Amino acid sequence: MLRRSLYTAILGAVLVAGGLSANAVTLADLQYGTAGILDGGTPAGTVLTLGDIKVGNLVFSDFVTTVGGGGLPPYGHDINGVANNIDVAATFSGGLAGFVLDSSDWLRTQNGPVIDTPDVTLSYMVSVNPLAAGTQITDAHLSASMVGVLLGGGLVPNDIADNFVSEALSNGYSMLIFNGQQMTGSGLQPYGNTLTASAYFTTPVTSLDVFKDMGQTIFLANGGTTGIVHMSGLSQTFSTTPEPGTLAMLFGFGVASTMFGLRRRIRR
């Protein structure tokens, strides 16, 4: 009985340490605290908190979104301007912990000579899980799939700007990704294409306030007829030291040592 109880307790601890898979929630779920995500690599003892994303050694919390711009935004939102149809899923791979934003409605089509600039802003806090003692955040990474096409003259850029602030940093950090194309007399020409960006912090930190501005612009001129912009698969991840895999290895070694010691006692 003692041995069976011991194995059951250890199995439960390993499952918690490995994290729980979870379905995607929306930005509105996080802002209103009606859902949360507990995913891979979280330390043993981590519990799900509504409104938070817990993945790896990190906790993402205090989500606030706004929807606005020069025209009717393509994003669904409620009367308070909170994005309610942008899905959020945790991601944990290669020591990078974070989340992915995606929505089939990140699409904007505009006809006629007009400037239209719908956008969504997102602010949140990322901090080290209190159960991951000694962990620090060292760098941030951003990527997305973005396409902009114009039929006729004009300009269609997509852009996502990030700003990071922490009391432990002497200055703020920022990064930008963007993409767009324009139709000219010689055919489709790129406006610009930078779909990945990183920020490396000179001083590792335990928490960061993040502000993200996600914009789409359609400027139809010179006979432009139709503009289409689309954004999807926005990934925001962070590196930590020590990495969650290292902590998991140490945890596994400790569990194995405990089992070995208890088995010796049982045999005696």
Q: Cα(216)–Cα(115) distance, rounded to whole angstroms? A: 11
Residues in CB range of 42: below 8 A, 6 or more apart:
16, 17, 19, 54, 55, 56, 57, 129, 131, 244
Residue 205 CA neighbour count, 13 Å, CB half: 23
The answer to whether 232 touches 144, Cβ cutoff 8 Å, is yes
Phi first, then psi: give them for residue 6, nearest 5 degrees.
-65, -50
Read off the tokens for 133. Answer: 């003692």
What is the rounded radius of gyration, in angstroms, for the C-alpha atoms of the chain? 23
Structure tokens at 33: 């605290």
User: Among 37, 162, 35, which residue's Cα sits nearest to residue 91?
Assistant: 37
3-state secondary structure of 257: helix
pLDDT, residue 222, reads: 56
Query: Minimal CA–CA distance to 10: which of 61, 230, 2?
Result: 2
pTM for this prediction: 0.76
Q: What are the counts of helices (DSSP H) followed by strands (DSSP E) for the chain?
A: 3, 18
CB 17 within 8 A of CB 2: no
Cβ atoms of 100 and 235 closer than 8 Å? yes
Q: What are the pLDDT tens digits along the chain (268 aa)?
A: 433 333 333 333 333 333 344 567 999 999 999 999 999 899 999 999 999 999 999 999 999 988 776 544 445 777 787 888 889 999 998 889 999 998 876 766 666 655 556 678 889 999 999 999 999 999 999 998 776 665 555 556 667 777 888 877 767 788 887 776 555 555 555 555 678 899 999 899 999 999 988 877 666 655 556 666 677 788 999 999 985 554 444 444 444 444 444 455 555 5
Q: Are 78 and 84 in contact (CB under 8 A)?
A: yes
Q: What is the pLDDT of residue 226?
A: 65
Q: How far apart are CA 110 and CA 112, in angstroms?
A: 7
Q: How many CB atoms lie within 10 A of CB 184?
A: 12
- Give the C-alpha separation, 77 to 85, whole Å: 7
Taking the C-alpha atoms of residue 170 and residue 78, their distance in angstroms, rounded to an integer, is: 38
Name residues whose C-beta falls within 8 Å of residue 156's C-beta, 6 or more positions apart in sequence: 148, 149, 150, 180, 181, 182, 191, 217, 218, 219, 227, 228, 229
SS3 state at 133: coil
**Distance, CA of 136 to CA of 127 (rounded, Å):** 9
In this structure, the chain runs to a length of 268
